[in-house]
Chain A
Amino acid sequence: GAGVSQSPRYKVAKRGQDVALRCDPISGHVSLFWYQQALGQGPEFLTYFQNEAQLDKSGLPSDRFFAERPEGSVSTLKIQRTQQEDSAVYLCASSLSGGGYEQFFGPGTRLTVL
Chain B
Amino acid sequence: DQQVKQNSPSLSVQEGRISILNCDYTNSMFDYFLWYKKYPAEGPTFLISISSIKDKNEDGRFTVFLNKSAKHLSLHIVPSQPGDSAVYFCAASSNFGNEKLTFGTGTRLTIIP
Q: Taking beta carbons and an 8 Å cutoff, which residues of A are in contact with B?
A: 4, 31, 33, 35, 40-45, 48, 56, 59, 91, 93, 95, 97-108
B contacts with A, residue count (CB < 8 A): 26
Contacts known (A42-B106, A100-B51, A102-B34); A107 close to B100, Cβ less than 8 A: no
Q: Which residues does chain B contribute within 8 Å of A48, judged by CB atoms? A: 99-100
Q: Which residues does chain B contribute within 8 Å of A105, judged by CB atoms? A: 36, 43-45
Bound CA–CA A59/B101 (angstroms): 11
Q: Which residues does chain A contribute within 8 Å of B51, judged by CB atoms? A: 100
Q: Which residues does chain B contribute within 8 Å of A107, judged by CB atoms? A: 41-43
Nearest opposing residue in chain A for B100, CB measure: A45
Bound CA–CA A103/B99 (angstroms): 10
- Say which one of B69-77, B78-86, B90-98 lies at the interface with A: B90-98
Nearest opposing residue in chain A for B51, CB measure: A100
Contacts known (A41-B105, A43-B103); A102 close to B41, Cβ less than 8 A: no
The CB with the most chain B CB atoms within 10 A, among A33, A93, A99, A104, is that of: A99
Bound CA–CA A107/B49 (angstroms): 21
Q: Which residues does chain A contribute within 8 Å of B89, judged by CB atoms? A: 42-43
